[in-house]
Amino acid sequence: MEQKKFKTEVSELLHLIIHSLYSHKEIFLRELISNASDALDKLKYETLTNPEYKDLQFDPHIDISFDGNEKKKTLTISDNGIGMGHDDLANDLGTIARSGTRNFLKNLTDEQKKDSNLIGQFGVGFYSSFMVADKVEVISRRAASDEVWKWSSTGKGVFNLEESEREEQGTTIIIHLNDEGDEYANRWALDRLIKQYSDHIAYPIFLSYDQDQYDDEGKKKGSEHKREQVNSAAALWRRSKSELTTEDYNEFYKSFSYDTEDPAFYIHTQAEGVNNYTTLFYIPSKAPFDMYNADYKSGVKLYVKRVYITDDEKELLPTYLRFVRGVIDSEDLPLNVSREILQQNRVMSNIRNASVKKILSELKKVSQDNPELYTTIITEFNRPLKEGLYSDYANRDALLSLVRFKSTEVDGYTSLSQYKERMKEDQKAIYYLAGGNEETVRRSPLLQGYKKKGYEVLIMADDIDDIVVPSIGTFEEFPLKAINKSGAVDDIEEKEEKKKKEKEGKDIIKRMKEALGDRVKDVVVSTRLVDSPVAVVVDDNDMSVQMQQILKQMGQGEVPDSKPILEINLDHPMVKKVVESKDDEYVKSMSIILLDSALIHEGVMLKNPADFVNNLHQLLSK
Ligand code: ADP
């Protein structure tokens, strides 16, 4: 017998599983049945595509039995699927395959560790059996192999591997129930769990039990062994919509999605005609934990004529819809479709295009019919949908109606068309301010002039706004203009007043320009600042100062160093003091302080904070 250590993260996970309280411990059965079903899917696929398996007699099924004996209560789940060899057992049941899990575990707080939903969210799968077991044995025989191996563990740091026996290919899992799992060695409990969680599993699930026999006088005369199919064994997405309840849909979702919460909603499409396919998509109510990992796991499984093909194909939907979970089942694709074929296949691209359109239009419906639900959806998925704006031009209009923004006029989120409805009659553009965090953006002095005019400004504080929004260009004839660029300034300035001010400020502008040298592109008078002495903008074609900063932080090598334009408010007492001063040194120090403070106000980190502080101290001591 060999003894092996679990990988560290598995040990940690098992420790967590064994020592936490679970409100949903019964999900272990769903996880094990789902694994069995996957194993049957894999073998079915092999028998249809791989000549090596062509002669295999294969009658796929899952069997569940139990021993209710007080002293040794056990529960056994058995399948005749693909099975596992020695190395599969050691690897698959000794590590956690999903990338990101380790980090996820490391970052859990103690509070979160107690939350079984969180644990369920990344699918502890097989390991969940330790919620109800003090020992688990797995006896498995890989298809087309003679070797049989037994894996066993009490979940405490190590597992054992030894040779064993089993007639057919497949896997038997024997759970030695602990006190927590006591209740599952029972016909009715198992019957209920299978019906509730695994009814849709496409293979028959048999439950075996002994039924007591009585004679005519009601005296027990023995017992009879029974084996009954418990589930309906039809792929859920193939059943007609009218037969299915929301509960059926939700249970199915939880059985494959790594999510223990109900989805926000589902979209079931059965298409017939040029292309024949069925899709069942779910929008989760919480973002998958790996949504922002580069190596996120795809949430969509591909089937061909009900035969499972892959759950590891990211191209089934565009990247920005990576939060969608579900199934695509095509009647027209070949069974042995390879990844390369899949990516250029016309049938597949038709399904993909139609699916994207459908998902976006259903999202739109929800936004109109159920704004409250849509707010929860947008709180989780606004950002990926915004990514779609620059990656999916074909669906630009649909996406524009789905994305939401914060704004100076409303609490919560607004859509662009809601903004448009609120626009002032003389307003020529949709204004926005992006960059930095929401609080900083909301306090920018640049907003003052728009507030005075009654123009609403969209507050864009998502880090990708600065990249996405310029690509929108216009929305229903109205250009989107960043108010930290000079083009938007012209829209709200009073021309007459501006001319007057320009004359008035001629001298000070010259002096300040000299003082600031090449740190600025220009110094101009402003008629839009109200409470603030100064503000910075950039030329229309230049990159905003915040954007430059974001790109630099992201380590983008060549960031063009465009210089800001400093706007000054001649009515502000601080600026007045500069105007009145005859002391060139004073004008210089003040100019630098004003520029730096305007940058800080926009959330920009100064290159030389020490210079700023020295300057300030010198000035204050004068
Ligand atoms: P997941 O199912 O999310 O991959 P699990 O921890 O539940 O994670 O299972 C790990 C791996 O062990 C599976 O991916 C599969 O390769 C293998 N496995 C688990 N149960 C079975 C089974 N009944 N038959 C064959 N392989 C299995």
Is the Cβ atom of 311 under 6 angstroms away from ligand 1?
A: no
Distance 130 CA to ligand 1 centre (A): 15
State the Cα–Cα distance between residues 359 and 349, nearest whole angstrom. Answer: 15
Helices 246-256 & 27-49, crossing angle to 10 degrees?
Answer: 80
Q: Name the nearest CA neighbour of 85 among 151, 159, 37, 26.
A: 151
pLDDT 10s digits, 43-55: 988 888 888 888 8
- Of the ranges 107-116, 241-250, 412-421, 506-515, which one carries the lowest mean pLDDT score? 107-116
Ligand 1: centre distance to CA 237 (Å): 23
35 ligand 1 Cβ < 6 A: yes
Asked whether the beta carbons of 144 and 52 are under 8 A apart, the reply is yes
* Residue 376 one-letter amino acid: T
Atom of ligand 1 nearest to the CA of 125: 7
Contact, 380 vs 285, CB < 8 A?
yes
pLDDT of 104: 67
The larger pLDDT score, comparing residue 620 to residue 561, is at 620
Whole-number pLDDT of residue 123: 55
* Ligand 1 contact, 159 CB (< 6 A): no
pLDDT above 90 for 204: yes
CATH 3.30.230.80 fits 238-400, yes or no: yes
- Using a 10 angstrom Cβ sphere, with 0-12 exposed, 13-18 middle and 19 or more buried, the burial of residue 527 is buried
Q: Identify residue 56 by its one-letter amino acid code.
A: L
User: What are the Cα distances from residue 280, in Å, to 240, 252, 268, 328, 358?
Assistant: 12, 10, 4, 7, 11
Most confident among 272-276, 306-310, 336-340 (mean pLDDT)? 272-276
3-state secondary structure 270-326: EECCCCCEEEEEEECCCCCCCCCCCCCCCCEEEEECCEEEECCCHHHCCHHHCCCEE
The conformational region for residue 543 under phi > 0 = left, psi -120 to 50 = alpha, else beta, is beta
Distances (CA, A) of 116 to 3, 14, 22, 112, 420: 30, 13, 6, 8, 44
Q: What average pLDDT is seen over the chain?
A: 88
Of ligand 1's atoms, which has the minimum distance to the CA of residue 258? 3
Angle at 77 between CA 74 and CA 78, to 5 degrees: 135
| Integer Cα distance of 242 and 467 in angstroms | 44
pLDDT at residue 421 in the model: 96
Q: What is the mean pLDDT of residues 474-486?
A: 91
Neighbouring-strand partners of residue 433: 459
In the predicted structure, residue 112 carries a pLDDT above the cut 70: no
The predicted model gives 216-230 an average pLDDT of 90
What is the Å distance from ligand 1's center to 231 Cα?
A: 21
377 to 355, 413, 459: CA distances (angstroms): 18, 12, 20
Mutate to test the pocket of ligand 1, among 32, 35, 290 (most ligand atoms within 8 A of CB): 35
In this prediction, residue 22 has a pLDDT band, given cuts at 50, 70 and 90, of: low
Which protein residue has the closest C-alpha to ligand 1 atom 23? 36
Kindly state the tokens that stand for 617. Answer: 């101290």
**pLDDT score of 94:** 86
Mean pLDDT throughout 519-536? 90
CATH class given for the domain over 2-234: alpha beta
Question: In the chain, what percentage of residues exceed pLDDT 90?
Answer: 52
Nearest to 77 by CA among 189, 152, 175: 175
Ligand 1 closest atom vs CA 97: 4
Q: In the prediction, which pLDDT does 567 show?
A: 92
81 contacts 42 by C-beta, under 8 angstroms: yes
Does 158 have pLDDT greater than 90?
A: yes
**Residue 99 in this model has a pLDDT that exceeds 70:** no
CA dist 133 and 17 (Å) reads 11
- 28-66 burial code (b ≥16 CB/10 A, e <16): bbbbbbbbbbbbbbebbbbbeeeeebeeeebebbbbbbb
Cα 351 to middle of ligand 1, angstroms: 29
| For residues 235-242, average pLDDT | 91
- pLDDT of the residue at 377: 97
Class of domain 406-553+560-621: mainly alpha
Which of 73-87, 90-104, 274-288, 376-390 shows the lowest mean pLDDT across its residues? 90-104
CA 180 to CA 173: how far, in whole Å? 18
Radius of gyration of the chain (CA): 33
Using alpha carbons only, what angle is made at residue 535 by residues 529 and 541, rounded to the nearest 5 degrees? 115
Tokens of 54: 């062509």
On whether the CB atoms of residues 534 and 592 are closer than 8 A, the answer is no
Q: What number is the average pLDDT over the span 490-500?
A: 83
Contacts of residue 87, Cβ cutoff 8 Å, sequence gap at least 6: none
Distance from C-alpha of 30 to C-alpha of 128, rounded to nearest angstrom: 10
Whether 402 contacts 386, CB under 8 Å = no
C-alpha to C-alpha distance for 487 and 468, rounded to whole angstroms: 19
Centroid of ligand 1 to alpha carbon of 243 (angstroms): 31
Residue 201: count other Cβ atoms within 10 Å of its Cβ. 24
Token duo for residue 423: 């626009």
Q: Are 264 and 373 in contact (CB under 8 A)?
A: yes
Atom of ligand 1 nearest to the CA of 34: 2
Is the pLDDT at 101 greater than 80? The verdict is no
| pLDDT for 335 beyond 70 | yes
Question: For residue 238, what are its two tokens?
Answer: 């193939």
Render pLDDT for 391-446 as a digit per residue (tens, 0 to 9). Answer: 899 999 999 999 999 999 999 999 999 999 999 999 999 999 987 789 989 999 88
Cβ of 41 less than 6 Å from ligand 1: no
Nearest residue to 257 (alpha-carbon basis) of 112, 122, 108: 122
Contact 430, 480 (CB under 8 A): yes
Question: Is the Cβ atom of 120 under 6 angstroms away from ligand 1?
Answer: no
Most confident listed range (74-78, 95-99, 483-487): 74-78
428-456: b (≥16 Cβ within 10 Å) or e: ebbbbbbbbeeebbeebbbbbbbeeeebb
Gap between the Cα atoms of 333 and 330, Å rounded: 6
DSSP 579-608: HH---HHHHHHHHHHHHHHHHHHTTPPPS-
Q: How confident is the model at residue 328 (pLDDT cuts 50, 70, 90)?
A: very high
- Positive or negative: CA dihedral 485, 488, 493, 496: positive
| Predicted local distance difference test score (pLDDT) of residue 98 | 60
Domain ranges in the chain? Answer: 2-234, 238-400, 406-553+560-621
Provide the pLDDT for residue 142.
Answer: 96
Whole-angstrom Cα distance, residue 442 to residue 42?
A: 54
Query: 537: burial class by Cβ within 10 Å (0-12, 13-18, 19+)?
Result: buried
The residue whose CA has the least distance to atom 17 of ligand 1 is: 92
The pLDDT of residue 599 is above 70: yes
Average pLDDT of the residues in 573-588: 90
pLDDT digits (tens, 9 = 90+) for 546-577: 777 777 776 666 777 788 999 999 999 999 99
Task: Indicate the pairing of strand 170-177 with strand 133-141.
Answer: antiparallel
